[in-house]
A and B are shown apart, each in its own frame.
Chain A
Amino acid sequence: MAFDYEKFIRPGKLPHIWCPGCGHGIVMKGLIRAMDTLNLVKEETAIVSGIGCASRLPGYIDCCTLHTAHGRAAAFATGVKMAKPEMNVILVGGDGDGTAIGGNHFIHACRRNINMTYIILNNYIYGMTGGQFSPCTPTGHKASTTPYGNPDPGFDIAKLAIGAGASFVARGTAFHANQIDKLITEAIQHKGFSVVEILDDCPTTYGRRNKYKSVIEMMNRLKEVAVPVKAAEKMTAEQLQGKVLTGVLHKVERPEYCEEYAKVIERAGGNK
């Protein structure tokens, strides 16, 4: 299938700010393919982000786009969605933005199960500020603020989202480019709060500090660690050591927040 990228790219806003070798552009293309597949109406679609490299993505997409403050995308987006439940609301951001400074809004958006899709580009680092460790930086790895190795354990974003109540959780990688749009498409179609974590690379601030000799090496790592959920069913715990499950990890039906609030309005007599 041929995709209409031009339709969704904002005229005159490219080139993007991302470094050569960064996977964010791959994810953006995946998002556009999903939007094209679903034939989303641009005027009826809001793309909301926080602060960071990934959060610059909405500026390149020709929709209602809202580049908010650090960590606050989910809370701004909740306001937009509550005010206009008929809009498609898609959130984009990085691992630091979403799980550190924005962690509270993230888990509560999951809990409410409000019908929005949150795409988290997890490159394990704060890239825009120069490579400080994030809640997703693996233990022992180096960042500009963990020169002796990171003592912190990292978050598993997908488990966090499932635990907090998101009704759809998927994971892909920037290497598996053709899977990204399928995951995002299914996430947008799902009614409720959907989270798509995309494991990504940051050669500039993460790779070079952690002995990755090239972008290709970083991409190959994503290829090697990813195990599709179906394949994992046939693997032993030993075989799964150090691997990361990809695909749709969690999908349940649960009451959606805006629909539940519509019932509140009905009970209060406000729909007369």
Chain B
Amino acid sequence: MSKKVGFLQGNEAAAHGALYAGCKFFAGYPITPSTEVSEVLSIELPKIGGKFIQMEDEIGAMAALLGGALAGQKALTSTSGPGLSLKQELIGYGCIAEIPCVVYNVMRGGPSTGMPTGPSQSDVMCAKWGTHGDHATIALMPASVQETYDMIVRAFNLAEKYRMPVHVLPDEIVAHMRERIEFREPGELEIIDRTAPSVPPSEYKPYDTKFGDVPPLAAFGSGYKFHVTGLNKLPDGFPTTKAEYVQAEEERQVRKVTANIDEIVEFEEFMLDDAEICVVAYGSTSRSARYAVNEAREQGIKVGMFRIKTFWPFPDKQIKALADKVKGFIVPEMNLGMCSLEIERCAQGKAQILGINRVDGEPINPEQILEKMKEVK
């Protein structure tokens, strides 16, 4: 049987990927350039008995998302820069209360209203550091329409597995370009659901670490009654200021990601075996980078690409290893050097780092990357 194919925008693919993952709940607020996600889901969710709600503002959408997720649904919101800024307090709530959900944020120019229809990659730090306090972050970076579909599925899997909000960060180019995609067949991609409690309601504690760093999560209305708060809490969910509990809880919530970094971090290595220059790229920029690497290889330049698919947690180990091997990194990105900072941190001065940074609403083209290769010494 031939596969069902489509010619979709990244945003439309995101909506269909969410449905494949089992998303039954969407809460959002209209914002360019992510609105197509909500438009598609407003059509598709009621067809399967799912719930779609357009809330009164971005904060309300994040709140409703967390409420729906706590009531047992796989839940998605879509937004863009200003919306991501507004959602930050409640993304932190999702982190501390450990509520699985997916935040799909299309990166446009900023700060503030910036360039609403222009592409950007300047929300990568906002996704990581936007909410206050220590917390772990998972953020995925699709580079094609097919990958947007697949990564939304993976984002739901990671959210459910690790009980936390997970970001998907397409840039506006990926979100709005159209490509052929294959809709996945049932069973083709793995689907992970949150672990339900194995104990009876009378023994249930929502943050019971005897079940490991990711305690089982019951749903409201499923026969279990428990307390959820944004305060630092005890294993039973009730607030505490006791130092030993707070320290252990905060460390556990970060550790559940750091201890599983090899499973969470995905990347692509392209022509890196003998490379003396490594282009580190993500999102639509990696498409220009791939073109540039192919061109350069024809000219005899030993260059390859490391494509970041998981931006957070950052692929420290891989970049450290590359820093021992290559003369220099070229880091093209549609911001003023956010990924470069992470490369600097990992490379520890062992390799040259050259950024190509555009924030003018234009994509980084292959010629710019080719030109930059001449500067590697």
Which residues of A does B touch, CB under 8 Å?
10, 13, 42-44, 46, 48, 58-59, 62-69, 72, 75-84, 86-87, 104-105, 107-108, 261, 264-265, 267-271
From B46, B68, B238, A265 is in contact (CB under 8 Å) with B46
| Binary contact track B235-263/A, C-beta < 8 Å → 1, others 0 | 00011000000000000000000000000
Identify whether the interface residues of A are mostly helix, strand, loop, or mixed: helix
Q: How far is the CA of A75 from the CA of B29 in the complex (A)?
A: 13
- Asked if A62 and B225 make an inter-chain contact with CB atoms under 8 angstroms apart, the answer reads yes
- Asked if A84 and B47 make an inter-chain contact with CB atoms under 8 angstroms apart, the answer reads no
- Asked if A72 and B90 make an inter-chain contact with CB atoms under 8 angstroms apart, the answer reads yes
Q: How far is the CA of A265 from the CA of B225 in the complex (A)?
A: 29
Given contacts A69-B93, A78-B63, A268-B43, 4 further A-B contacts (CB under 8 A): A13-B238, A62-B225, A79-B27, A104-B56
- Asked if B60 and A104 make an inter-chain contact with CB atoms under 8 angstroms apart, the answer reads yes
From B56, B64, B93, B226, A82 is in contact (CB under 8 Å) with B64
Q: What distance in Å separates the Cβ of A137 from its nearest Cβ neighbour in chain B?
A: 24
From B61, B89, B226, A64 is in contact (CB under 8 Å) with B226
- Asked if B225 and A64 make an inter-chain contact with CB atoms under 8 angstroms apart, the answer reads yes
- Asked if A75 and B63 make an inter-chain contact with CB atoms under 8 angstroms apart, the answer reads yes
Residue of B at shortest CB range from A88? B221
Q: How far is the CA of A84 from the CA of B218 in the complex (A)?
A: 14
Chain B residue numbers with a CB within 8 Å of A69 are 63, 89-90, 93, 230
Q: How far is the CA of A75 from the CA of B90 in the complex (A)?
A: 11
Residue of A at shortest CB range from B236? A12
Q: How many residues of B contact A (CB 8 A)?
A: 48
Interface core residue of B24, B53, B227, B228 (most chain A CB under 10 Å): B227
Cβ of B220 under 8 Å from chain A: yes
* 7 closest residue pairs by CB, A with B: A79-B67, A75-B63, A79-B64, A83-B71, A268-B46, A75-B60, A108-B56
Q: How far is the CA of A68 from the CA of B50 in the complex (A)?
A: 24
From A58, A80, A105, B56 is in contact (CB under 8 Å) with A105
Chain B residue numbers with a CB within 8 Å of A78 are 53, 55, 60, 63-64, 67
Q: How far is the CA of A256 from the CA of B70 in the complex (A)?
A: 22
- Asked if B225 and A83 make an inter-chain contact with CB atoms under 8 angstroms apart, the answer reads no
Chain A residue numbers with a CB within 8 Å of B144 are none
Q: What distance in Å separates the Cβ of B38 from its nearest Cβ neighbour in chain A?
A: 14
